[in-house]
A and B are shown apart, each in its own frame.
Chain A
Amino acid sequence: AQSVAQPEDQVNVAEGNPLTVKCTYSVSGNPYLFWYVQYPNRGLQFLLKYITGDNLVKGSYGFEAEFNKSQTSFHLKKPSALVSDSALYFCAVRDDTGFQKLVFGTGTRLLVSP
């Protein structure tokens, strides 16, 4: 069975500094990896995904993530944080069998201070 770990409940960063939100996964076979963001009282918004190809994936709002197969990680990054990036971030994984169940991590709250 697949699983996702987001080891940090909260990440604090100053505006303009780079940010990293960590994610590690476990899955049988090849992983399909996703990052979503949730703003207060809103649904989850898709940021980016890795299915195959280049290990560095670029997504919405200047976010990117790097797939590292040996470390089974898919950390979310942004070179320069904005206050408006403050939100709850979820990493998710599914396998490549065609079964569509997406397993989510517990979420990491990102707080960007002015």
Chain B
Amino acid sequence: DAGVIQSPRHEVTEMGQEVTLRCKPISGHDYLFWYRQTMMRGLELLIYFNNNVPIDDSGMPEDRFSAKMPNASFSTLKIQPSEPRDSAVYFCASKGSGATSTDTQYFGPGTRLTVL
């Protein structure tokens, strides 16, 4: 299995621009999570989906952030407009459920976002 795939790995953009981060979960996993990691705040859960439906978006910082999951194999996290304080590493993770699940979240390699 290829694991969780994220793209791009690095993104540098200017303040005010739209940024789209992408994630492909592990095949067969029905949960998908978006996290943000910064030195100041550590690892924070932004939103998670179950069967493509958002379950908890209480961690989304503000309306500039939005996430979608149009199908079981793809999710996006969009920031519009971006600000320098959005600079962070964004991780996607996925998890299976059911009798054969390990009940463990598996993380992608992350996208390092720098907003100038």
Contact = CB atoms under 8 A, between A and B. Distances in A.
Interface in A33-52: 34, 36, 41-46, 49, 51
Interface stretch (A21-29, A61-69, A100-108): A100-108
The size class of the interface chain A forms with chain B is 20 to 34
A100 B50 contact: yes
A107 B103 CA distance: 22
B43 A104 contact: yes
Contacts, number: 47
Interface in B36-58: 42-43, 45, 48, 50, 55-56
Contacts of B27: none
B42 A100 contact: no
Contacts of B91: 43-44
A42 B108 CA distance: 8
Given A43-B91, A100-B48, A100-B50, A34 B43 contact: no
A104 B109 contact: no
Given A100-B31, A100-B55, A101-B56, A43 B43 contact: no
Contacts of B25: none
B104 A49 contact: yes
Contacts of A49: 103-104
A74 interface: no
B107 A44 contact: yes
Interface in B67-106: 91, 93, 95, 103-106
A80 B22 CA distance: 39
B45 to A, nearest CB: 6
Nearest to A6: B42
A101 B48 contact: yes
Interface of A: 32, 34, 36, 41-46, 49, 51, 90, 99-107
Interface of B: 4, 31, 33, 42-43, 45, 48, 50, 55-56, 91, 93, 95, 103-110, 112
Given A44-B43, A104-B42, 5 more contacts: A41-B112, A42-B109, A43-B107, A100-B33, A105-B42
